[in-house]
Structure 1
Amino acid sequence: WDVNFGDMGNFGDLGDIFETFFEGMGMKPRRKAYERGTDLELGVEVTLEEAKFGKTVNLEYGTRVACEACKGLGYRADAGLKRCEHCGGRGEIRESRNTFFGNFVQVVTCNECRGTGEVPVALCHDCKGEGRNSGKRSVQVEIRSGVADGQIIKVKGMGEAGERKAEAGDLYVRVHVKSHPSFERRGDDLYMDLEVPVTDIILGKKRTIIVLGGGKAELVIPAGFDPSQELKIHGEGMTKHASLIVRLKIKTPRLNSKAKKLVEELEKLLGEE
């Protein structure tokens, strides 16, 4: 490249100027021949049960897919390619540009052949030479057990198709976990409220409770347990290493006259100790 500092009149955009300067010195890599496909993001909603045990979901979505007529080439394969006349088959051309550094002559990628040095003899009529057109894609996505709300799953190569067999974009699936009427999730632990009669607190009891997913687990309430504290059932959280935390809520009974007298007698006995 040649530099002439005689012309300082065109200051232009500083970003473009420095890009031109360093590109001309060979310090910036040339762009790829054809555009990579765009990445896509989709959302999927799962229940708390599905988040715990895992699920495979089938997704179908609209995007640009490889052209079926030309198999993504963008041109008729039987007609083939010919040398690009614009760049003489070199894939690059020399351009002159004025900056406040002076007049630069730089080597840039040929826009006609995208740096390949060849152009199609006959473009595909279906995709107009792009190698892709509008369509639909479908994919199975495995949502693993214990997935968190907002977690993103990457599916490589399932985004938009690239231009003329260039690399396809990736698909990103964002998982939303729906709230549950009985269980609250905090990290990998689950929380639930359990209403029990006051006698269970005083005497101590074993209760069978329904855990997330419909299974059963045994909960031991120690005699005289402080209901402001929490009980844990290990292994019944979102993972086998997490817990189900049970918060006890005392159910106040309705007393008839006989039951009321018994409670009053109990109160006197406790007061005498």
Structure 2
Amino acid sequence: MADHYEVLGVARDASPEEIKKAYRRLARQLHPDVNPGEDAAERFKLVTHAYDVLSDPDQRQRYDLGGDSGAFGGAGAGFGGFSDIFETFFGGGGGGTRAGRPRSRRERGQDALVRVDLTLGDVVFGVHRDIEVDTAVLCETCQGSCCQPGTQPVTCDICHGSGQIQRTVRSLLGNVVTSQPCTTCQGYGTTIPYPCSTCQGQGRVRARRTVSIDIPAGVETGLRLQLPGSGEVGPAGGPNGDLYLEVTVASHDVFSRDGDDLLATLEVSMIDAILGTSVTIDSLDGPVDLEIRQGVQAGDELTIRGRGITPLRGEQRGDLRVAVQVVTPSHLDPKSRALVQELAKRTRPAPPHLAEFHPGLFSKLRGKFKR
């Protein structure tokens, strides 16, 4: 392999500005648009590759420490640095490639995350949603080839399709061969002379698309639903990533959730609590009849079977549990007051007194009435 300094016609201690001037001078002479000869085209590729290496401080330093087969034999030849030895034996060279095996332009796309707002009714019955997602989709112009229609990638003339450039390095262990990604094709082994003008050679574009999803009953805030293959398409038309839906359930004015059960509070007048009554309440399923027994107490719980939430992984719905809250009238007209006093005389209720202490009673009552 020709020495990069000799290719550009500069000294080994040339400054970056001198290297740039030499490259521009040679590029003007050898560019295919100016000099169509085959020899000129080959020299232009060598000049470009030499400039890519020597214009990058890190690559130039590595090259100066080791050099290639055309750089040995002179007074400036020396031993390769320990970094070259480590690169040889511990997979150096970067770029995620192996010697002789070029990188693939096709890669898996990234996962996408979308937040979905649901109502408590959606949680009870499940819901179908059409969700708008802004992600990368396959380029319709090139269909992921990254090339302008009618063209295709060509084999890299520098690495001859391997995606790697090999160098022989002198080290304390003798001559060893190191590999690093080709800077001309970036390790792909091919170049794209005519990139697709729609996606600029990426094989994908950003677009808004609609994803249809059936959200099952029983989900809750914070739960993530995974849709495999519904995320972003990968570079060069690579496989799609996954789409994750993160659920947020809005609070309800009347009902709250306790596992698979629904909770509600029913306000009952003192008279209805004494005499008992029947009432029709509006559940999330629609109207449902509820019997209030005679003498119901504040904090008593009435259960309506099968009117709760269907479990995420199950079929039998939970219950609707209704806690009774007896409402005592705060203002009575004289006639009503007299009737209550007469009732008190007839029933002779026990005077107010402290009841036996029950641990957790207050928390239990609070739980019955929570929303």
Per the shorter chain, which TM-score range? 0.7 to 0.9
Q: Does 1:184 align with 2:261?
A: no
Asked if the contact 2:145–2:152 (Cα under 8 Å) also holds between the matched residues in 1, the reply is no
Q: Does 1:124 align with 2:196?
A: yes
Equivalent of 2:291 in 177, 199, 220: 220
Map of 1:8-157 to 2, 5 A cutoff? Answer: 22-23=90-91, 33-94=105-166, 106-107=178-179, 117-157=189-229
Q: Distance in 2 between matches of 1:141 and 1:95?
A: 54
Post-superposition shift, 1:65?
2.0
| Change in CA separation of 1:117 and 1:272 when aligned onto 2, cut-off 3 Å | closer
TM-score of the superposed pair, with normalisation by structure 2: 0.59
The residue identity in structure 2 corresponding to 1:250 is: V
Q: Does 1:266 align with 2:336?
A: no
| Change in CA separation of 1:86 and 1:51 when aligned onto 2, cut-off 3 Å | farther
| Change in CA separation of 1:172 and 1:272 when aligned onto 2, cut-off 3 Å | closer
Partner of 1:3: none
| Change in CA separation of 1:23 and 1:8 when aligned onto 2, cut-off 3 Å | closer
Q: Distance in 1 between matches of 2:106 and 2:326?
A: 68
Partner of 2:333: 256
| Change in CA separation of 1:189 and 1:272 when aligned onto 2, cut-off 3 Å | closer
**Partner SS state of residue 142, structure 2:** coil
Which protein, 1 or 2, shows the higher relative CO under an 8 Å CA cutoff with sep ≥ 6?
A: 1
**Partner SS state of residue 348, structure 2:** helix
CA RMSD of aligned residues (A): 3.6
Instruction: Kindly provide the CA deviation profile for residues 20-51 of structure 1, in whole angstroms up to 9, marking residues without a partner as x.
Output: 86436xxx986764332222111121222122
Q: Distance in 1 between matches of 2:293 and 2:189?
A: 82
Asked if the contact 2:304–2:319 (Cα under 8 Å) also holds between the matched residues in 1, the reply is yes
Post-superposition shift, 1:198?
1.6
**Partner SS state of residue 231, structure 2:** coil
TM-score of the superposed pair, with normalisation by structure 1: 0.77
Q: Distance in 2 between matches of 1:196 and 1:106?
A: 86
**Partner SS state of residue 205, structure 2:** strand
Post-superposition shift, 1:109?
5.6
Post-superposition shift, 1:263?
1.8
Q: Distance in 1 between matches of 2:200 and 2:88?
A: 32
Task: Provide the identity percentage.
Answer: 37
Q: Distance in 2 between matches of 1:272 and 1:138?
A: 67
Post-superposition shift, 1:106?
5.0
The residue identity in structure 2 corresponding to 1:232 is: T
Higher Cα Rg, which structure = 2
Post-superposition shift, 1:95?
6.8
Asked if the contact 1:23–1:106 (Cα under 8 Å) also holds between the matched residues in 2, the reply is no
**Partner SS state of residue 23, structure 1:** coil
Q: Distance in 2 between matches of 1:272 and 1:116?
A: 92
Instruction: Kindly provide the CA deviation profile for residues 144-197 of structure 1, in whole angstroms up to 9, marking residues without a partner as x.
Output: 222212222222223222110112222212121111111112222211111111
Asked if the contact 1:33–1:114 (Cα under 8 Å) also holds between the matched residues in 2, the reply is no
